[in-house]
Structures are given as structure tokens and as C-alpha cells.
Amino acid sequence: MKRICFLFFMTAFVISMPAMDSVIKFTDIKNPVSIAYLDNNRLAVAGDGCIIFNFIDNKGKRINKHKIFNVTVNKDHTRFALLGEKNLTVYSALTGKKLAKKKA
């Protein structure tokens, strides 16, 4: 039984490796500290900047170049906020455009 469980988890881990390699390769974020799913196909990766990564075409779009501490997505997954060193910025999760910015 232990071998079957071990085999299952190793198979699941190996299958997920190519996806993680593509995220790491295309995001180019140094010191990632926060990750949030915007929808089933897109992921926001934040650290020294923020990139929205699209799993369908394996491309990332940089939306912020400043140091980010946290990414938060609203309940409807229509907006997300980036908390940085000096400001809080709200973006549209659908388009990636900046909606509001407030200095801290």
C-alpha cells in the first residue's frame, strides 16, 4: 500500500514539473513572494515586479516593475491588488489594466 501511494505521488509530481518549469522560465521574477490565480488559465506572480502568466500560450506580461509584497484577488476574480513598498495598486484581472493607485 505504501508503494502504491508513493508511486501515485511521484507520478503526480513528475507530471506537474513541466508546467512549473515553463512558469519559472517565462516569468523572470526575482525573489517571488506571492502567487494568485486570476482564472483557470492565468496566474499572477509577484516579487521584484509582477507578471501575469498565461498557461495557454506560455507567455508572461509584466505589469509592474516595483517590489511587491502581496497579491490579492477579489471574490469574483475580476480585480486584483498589488501591495508594494510605497503604494497599493488595483488592476483588472480580465485586461491587466491599472484601475486605481494609492500611496501608502
Q: pLDDT tens across 51-93, in order? A: 998 888 888 889 988 899 999 999 998 999 999 988 999 999 9
CB 85 within 8 A of CB 76: no
Predicted structure pTM score: 0.70
Q: pLDDT tens across 5-48, in order? A: 444 444 444 444 455 555 555 567 778 888 899 988 899 999 88
Cell of 63: 505589469
In degrees and rounded to multiples of 5, residue 97 shows phi and psi of: -85, 150
Distances (CA, A) of 6 to 17, 27, 54, 95: 17, 31, 31, 41
Under the banding of pLDDT at 50, 70 and 90, the label for residue 96 is confident
